[in-house]
């Protein structure tokens, strides 16, 4: 079994280029410190015929889309070790003055793999 950190966030389409730079740094950093996989995905087919669409659940505003992302680890303990190393690495980095998305609208959680 494995462990996954997952998150979903709304983002203005005009900020995707800036977000992509952050995501590329994130991938390099998490993978360097031991993550098994790291994916950042941007919404494309969000007008679904069943279930609750991300657009409604995330209360998207005009000009926004959704990013769905996840990081895979061996276990929760492995996740905790890797994330501690990543947080340490982030301390030496200059954070953007303004994030390219609304952090308060981001949803996040850690998940034990059920199937896969």
Would you say 78 and 34 are in contact if contact means Cβ atoms under 8 Å apart?
yes
DSSP string over 12-56: EGGGHHHHHHHHHHHHHHHHHTT-SEEEEEE------SSS--HHH
User: For the chain, what is the mean pLDDT?
Assistant: 94
- pLDDT at position 97 is 78
Provide the whole-model pTM: 0.91
- pLDDT at position 37 is 98
CATH of 3-99, one of 3.30.70.100, 3.40.50.970, 2.40.30.10, 3.40.50.10540: 3.30.70.100
Give the SS3 label for residue 115. Answer: coil
Q: Where are the domains of the chain?
A: 3-99
Q: Is the confidence at residue 45, as pLDDT, over 90?
A: yes
Tokens 């949803």, located at residue:
107
Distances (CA, A) of 93 to 17, 20, 41, 64, 110: 19, 17, 24, 27, 24
- pLDDT at position 93 is 76
Cβ count within 10 A of residue 70:
16
Per-residue pLDDT of 50-61, as tens digits, reads: 999 999 999 999
Q: What is the mean pLDDT of residues 3-8?
A: 98
């Amino acid at each position: 079994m494995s462990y996954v950190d997952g998150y979903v966030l709304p983002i203005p389409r005009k900020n995707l280029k800036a977000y992509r730079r952050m995501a590329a740094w994130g991938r390099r950093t998490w993978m360097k410190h031991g993550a098994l996989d790291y994916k950042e995905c941007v919404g494309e087919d969000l007008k679904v015929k069943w279930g609750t669409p991300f657009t409604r659940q995330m209360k998207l505003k005009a000009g926004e889309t959704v990013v769905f992302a996840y990081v895979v680890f061996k276990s929760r303990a492995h996740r905790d070790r890797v994330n501690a190393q990543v947080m340490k690495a982030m301390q030496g980095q200059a954070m953007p003055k303004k994030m390219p998305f609304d952090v308060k609208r981001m949803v996040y959680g850690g998940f034990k793999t059920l199937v896969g």
